């Protein structure tokens, strides 16, 4: 099972709404979260190696997320499932919804990106593993499956860390894991015939009460302009004035 999120395309420059209530997304290009796309590619490669019988792609969000699910089907997923809801959700609520889908589908492996590029929470995978009471391996840059165990190589500050977990498990993917495939037109046409089921968040019995309230969204402060120095001596003097040296 691969979990994906609909986000503003990473090539698009976003702007904050004038009232500070959020980010203006009307008319912007939307795509699969890049980290989730890597997770889907890895799931497809696992299936192509004969280590999985089916790839299910799921999403929790508005009805427009069907477009990204169809893209996942065009990449090679066998079927898709959307938990439809209105408005943004906190990571814990999404994790609870995914936990309900895990109980329904009983996957051997759950893959998702390490974080979404819109909110950068990097929490959903870890919360899902805790709710499921199964092992987790985060920020995977390499994934190998042998029998009922998965070996994950993850990048840490000191170098590389290798983690071995029992399946079923949750694995979140990093950028260096793979390069997602390009979707061709014939696959897009075939994806229209693949099954895509829609559920409601209420039908799963999930409590959607938010625990946090976003009061205001502000763009980052503009960076101050740099200065030009004539030589190394002047550079050292400026650094001393600013307390760097």
CATH code of the domain in which 117 resides = 3.40.50.620
pTM check: above 0.75: yes
Residue 225 lies in a domain: no
pLDDT tens, 185-236? Answer: 899 999 999 999 999 988 898 888 888 888 888 888 888 888 889 999 999 9
Would 211 be classed as within a structural domain? yes
- Bridge partners for 60 per DSSP: 83
Per residue in 133-189, pLDDT (tens digit) is 999 999 999 999 999 999 999 988 888 999 999 999 999 999 999 999 999 889 999
Domain containing residue 122: 2-219
Look at residue 242 and tell me if it is in a domain.
no
Per-residue pLDDT tens over the stretch 45-101: 999 999 999 999 999 999 999 999 999 999 999 999 999 998 788 999 999 999 999
Other CB atoms closer than 10 Å to residue 126's CB: what's the count?
17
- Decide if 241 is inside a domain: no
Answer yes or no: is 138 within a domain: yes
In a domain, 244, yes or no: no
User: Looking at the 3D structure of the chain, how many domains does it have?
Assistant: 1
Is 231 within a domain?
A: no
- Contacts of residues 64-68 at CB distance under 8 Å and 24 or more positions apart, as own/partner, are 64/6, 64/30, 65/5, 65/6, 66/196, 66/198, 67/6, 67/30, 68/4, 68/5, 68/6, 68/30, 68/31, 68/32
Q: What one-character-per-residue DSSP string does 134-156 give? A: --EEEEEEEEEEETTEEEEEEEE
Q: Tell whether 95 is covered by a domain.
A: yes
């Amino acid at each position: 099972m691969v979990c994906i999120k609909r986000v503003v395309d990473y090539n698009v420059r976003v702007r904050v709404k004038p009232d500070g209530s959020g980010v203006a997304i009307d008319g912007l290009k939307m795509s699969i979260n890049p980290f989730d796309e890597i997770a889907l590619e890895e799931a497809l490669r696992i299936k192509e190696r004969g280590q999985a019988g089916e790839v299910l792609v799921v999403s929790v969000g508005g009805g427009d997320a069907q477009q990204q699910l169809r893209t996942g089907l065009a990449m090679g997923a066998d079927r898709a499932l959307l938990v439809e809801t209105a408005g943004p959700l906190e990571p814990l609520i999404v994790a609870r919804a995914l936990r309900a889908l895990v109980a329904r589908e009983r996957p051997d492996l759950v893959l998702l990106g390490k974080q979404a590029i819109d909110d950068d929470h990097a929490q959903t995978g870890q919360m899902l593993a805790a709710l499921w009471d199964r092992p987790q391996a985060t920020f995977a840059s390499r994934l190998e499956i042998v029998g009922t165990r998965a070996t994950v190589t993850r990048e840490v500050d000191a170098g590389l860390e290798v983690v071995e977990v029992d399946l079923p498990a949750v694995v979140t993917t990093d950028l260096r894991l793979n390069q997602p495939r390009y979707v061709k037109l014939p696959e897009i046409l075939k994806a229209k015939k693949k099954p895509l089921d829609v559920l409601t968040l209420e039908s799963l019995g999930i409590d959607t009460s938010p625990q946090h309230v976003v009061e205001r969204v502000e763009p980052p402060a503009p960076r101050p302009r740099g200065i030009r120095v004539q030589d190394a001596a002047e550079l050292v003097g400026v650094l001393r004035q600013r307390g760097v040296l």
